[in-house]
């Protein structure tokens, strides 16, 4: 069976040694595509030392300026979190997530996103994912080192590659890319502003976040994104005609 097309994405890693250890963890589990979003220090001798035989993975690592760039062309995206999140995020166990990620990678590149060592991922970064991965751990000490978290997820991905469920791609077209979804959200925001549909929450800042989260959970394909954008364009067109008639 061909290797799955899975990206390991590290957002703002601060310790170069962790990057090297992640490369080693990936090579242990037959993963090779490492993307670094705004790393604090890389390349770095400590990263090379900690890679310990996985220098090919480290040498092939791509440095990008944004998470959007790292996810370019991806379908299914999972993000890792160690904290409790509200009910608007879908959270799945690491083993269940691994089977889904491997299966999805058979029809389009998939990605697993890890946050920085100190702060993890922001809510905005989490909203790029279709699901969040939780790694079960001691409730009294949930914090995992970045390389350890990658090793655990990579191990489950390696196991999932041998499962029947992950051997074939899901039915239907690939999921819409992060860029296509970003354009949809920008279009939504524009139309909501034009029709003066305001956020009714106390802070007035949650509406687009809620929209992003429920549409990520819906796992839209490109055709479905086009349908929604067509509807939004029709709303804009009707408003222009109504203004012209007035």
Which residues lie across from 133 on neighbouring strands?
Answer: 80, 92
Asked whether residue 243 carries a pLDDT value surpassing 90, the answer given is: no
Same domain, residue pair 93 and 140: yes
pLDDT at 32: 97
47 assigned to some structural domain = yes
pTM for this structure? 0.90
Which residues lie across from 131 on neighbouring strands?
Answer: 78
138 assigned to some structural domain = yes
Query: Cα separation of 160 and 1, whole Å?
Result: 12
Question: Could you tell me if 227 and 187 are in contact, meaning their C-beta atoms sit under 8 angstroms apart?
Answer: no
Q: What is the pLDDT of residues 21-35, one digit of tens each?
A: 999 999 999 999 999
Same domain, residue pair 137 and 184: no
Q: What is the 3-state secondary structure (H, E, C) of the chain?
A: CCCCCEEEEEECCCCHHHHHHHHHHHHHCCCCEEEEECCCCCCCHHHHHHHCCCHHHHHCCEEECCHHHHCCCCCCEEEECCCCCCCCCCEEEHHHHHHHHHHHCCCCCEEEEECECCCECCHHHHCCCCEEEECCCCCCCCCCCHHHHHHHHHHHHHHHCCCCCCCCCCCCCCECCHHHHHHHHHHHHHHHHHCCCCCCCCCCCCHHHHHHHHHHHHCCEHHHHHHHHHHHHHHHHHHHHHHHHC
- The domain spanning residue 238 has which CATH number? 1.10.8.590
Region of residue 81 (left: phi > 0; alpha: psi -120 to 50; beta: else)? beta
pLDDT at 88: 75
Asked whether residue 138 carries a pLDDT value surpassing 90, the answer given is: no
Who has greater pLDDT, 226 or 84? Answer: 226
Same domain, residue pair 35 and 102: yes
Q: Mean pLDDT, to the nearest integer, of 218-234? A: 97
Average pLDDT, the chain: 91
Same domain, residue pair 183 and 146: no
Same domain, residue pair 38 and 152: yes
pLDDT at 163: 79
Same domain, residue pair 128 and 233: no
Who has greater pLDDT, 231 or 199? Answer: 231
* Cα torsion 64, 67, 68, 71: sign: positive
Domain span at 21? 6-160
Helical pair 146-160 and 94-104, crossing angle rounded to 10 deg: 60
Q: What is the pLDDT of residues 158-192, one digit of tens each?
A: 999 987 666 677 888 889 999 999 999 999 999 99
Same domain, residue pair 199 and 151: no
Who has greater pLDDT, 206 or 238? Answer: 238
pLDDT at 3: 74
Q: Mean pLDDT, to the nearest integer, of 34-52? A: 97
Domain termination site, one of 160, 190, 213: 160
pLDDT at 140: 86
């Amino acid at each position: 069976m061909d290797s799955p097309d899975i990206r390991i994405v590290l957002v703002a890693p601060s310790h170069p040694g962790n990057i090297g250890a992640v490369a080693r963890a990936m090579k242990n589990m037959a993963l090779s595509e490492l993307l670094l979003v705004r790393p604090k220090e890389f390349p770095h001798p400590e990263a090379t030392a900690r890679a310990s035989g996985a220098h090919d993975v480290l040498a092939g690592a791509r440095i990008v300026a944004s998470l959007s760039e790292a996810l370019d062309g991806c379908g299914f995206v999972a993000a890792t979190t160690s904290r409790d999140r509200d009910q608007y995020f879908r959270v799945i166990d690491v083993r269940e997530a691994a089977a889904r990620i491997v299966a999805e990678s058979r029809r389009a590149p998939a990605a697993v996103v890890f946050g920085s060592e100190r702060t993890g991922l922001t809510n905005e970064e989490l909203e790029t994912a279709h699901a969040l991965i939780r790694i079960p751990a001691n409730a009294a000490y949930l914090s995992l080192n970045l390389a350890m978290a990658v090793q655990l997820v990579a191990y489950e991905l390696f196991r999932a590659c041998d499962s029947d469920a992950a051997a074939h791609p899901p039915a239907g077209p690939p999921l819409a890319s992060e860029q296509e979804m970003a354009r949809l959200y920008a279009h939504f925001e524009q139309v909501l502003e034009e029709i003066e549909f305001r956020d009714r929450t106390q802070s007035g800042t949650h509406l687009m976040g809620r929209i992003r989260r429920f549409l990520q959970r819906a796992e839209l394909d490109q055709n479905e994104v086009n349908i929604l954008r067509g509807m939004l364009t029709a709303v804009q067109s009707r408003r222009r005609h109504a203004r012209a008639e007035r």
